[in-house]
Amino acid sequence: MEFPQLSLSYSSYSARNNPWLLITGGRAPATSWLTQLRGFDRCWAADHGIDACQQANLVPDVLLGDGDSASPRSWDWAKTLGVSLKEYPVAKDFTDTQLALKLMIEAGAPAIIVTGAFGGRFDHAYSTMFSCASLDIPCALIDESEALIYAQPDQSITLAFATIPKAISLLPFTESCSGVTINNVRWPLTDATLTQQFPQAVSNELLTGQTDLSICVKTGKLGVYCYWEAP
C-alpha cells in the first residue's frame, strides 16, 4: 500500500488487485493529502465521509449510511452524480462504518484503507479500530497525521517512511501479542510479549538516519500506530 508519507508491505500478502478506500465520518483528512492518494480500485463513503469526498472532488462508487451527519449539500451532490446509494435508518445495531466494512468484504475487497477514522467521537473511533482489527484482510487507518496498521499472527510488516513520524507505538488488539520484534527504533524489541491490559510499547521513535522499520508478531493481532506533527 502506498500513502503520501509512507509505503507498507506485508510478508504474507500479495494481492492481484489494489485495496479499496473507505472515507468515514470522523476527523476529515486534509484535502491536499486525500487528493494525493493513489492505488485504490474502488472508493466508498460512509455518511459524513461524503463531505470530504466533495471537498476533494473525489466521486465515490458507493455512499452508505443514514445521512444524520453528512451535509445535505454533499448528499445531494452524490445523488446528482449517480453514486450508488445504500441508505439505512438512524436506529440500527451497527455504525455506518461497520456496515460499510461488512459490505466491502462481501463485495470482494482484497484490502481496505480507511480514512476519516480518527478524531471526532472516541466511541466511534474505538468501534472502528476494533472492527478493523477483526478483519482477516489487510487494513490500514490513515490520514496525514495518524496511521494504524495491523499485523496478523505469524506476519511481518515493513514500513518505509517518506516523512519521519514523531512517534511509533505498538498496541495489542488481542489480550496479548507474543513474539513481537521491531528494529531500527530507539527501543527495539526481540520476541517480546505485549499485553492489552497494560500497553507499554508506546511512543517509540526511529533511529537517526533510518527511514524504514520492520515489525513481526507470532501470536495475537498487533496494531502499529504512527503519529506525525502538523507542518
Average pLDDT, the chain: 92
pLDDT, tens digit (0-9, with 9 covering 90-100), for 14-39: 667 899 999 998 999 999 999 999 89
Question: Rounded mean pLDDT of 74-80?
Answer: 91
pLDDT, tens digit (0-9, with 9 covering 90-100), for 192-217: 999 999 999 999 999 999 999 999 99
Alpha-carbon distance of 231 to 229, in angstroms, equals 6
Per-residue 3-state assignment (H helix, E strand, C coil) for 42-80:
CEEEECCHHHHHHHHCCCCCEEEECCCCCCHHHHHHHHH
pLDDT, tens digit (0-9, with 9 covering 90-100), for 83-137: 999 987 777 778 999 999 999 999 999 999 999 999 888 999 999 999 999 999 9
- Which one has a higher pLDDT value, 231 or 52? 52
Given a cut of 90, whether residue 142 has pLDDT beyond it is yes
Question: Rounded mean pLDDT of 54-63?
Answer: 96
In this structure, the strands spanning 222-227 and 167-172 are: antiparallel
Structural domains of the chain in order of their starting residue, each with its CATH number? 9-144 (3.40.50.10240), 145-231 (2.60.120.320)
Question: Rounded mean pLDDT of 167-173?
Answer: 97
Q: What percent of the chain has pLDDT over 70?
A: 98
Given a cut of 70, whether residue 74 has pLDDT beyond it is yes
Q: How confident is the model at residue 231 (pLDDT cuts 50, 70, 90)?
A: low
pTM tops 0.85: yes
C-beta separation of 192 from 181 below 8 A: yes
Residue by residue, DSSP assigns 78-130 as HHHTT-EEEE--SS-SS-HHHHHHHHHHHTT-SSEEEES-SSS-HHHHHHHHH
What pLDDT, on a 0 to 100 scale, did the predictor assign at position 138?
Answer: 92
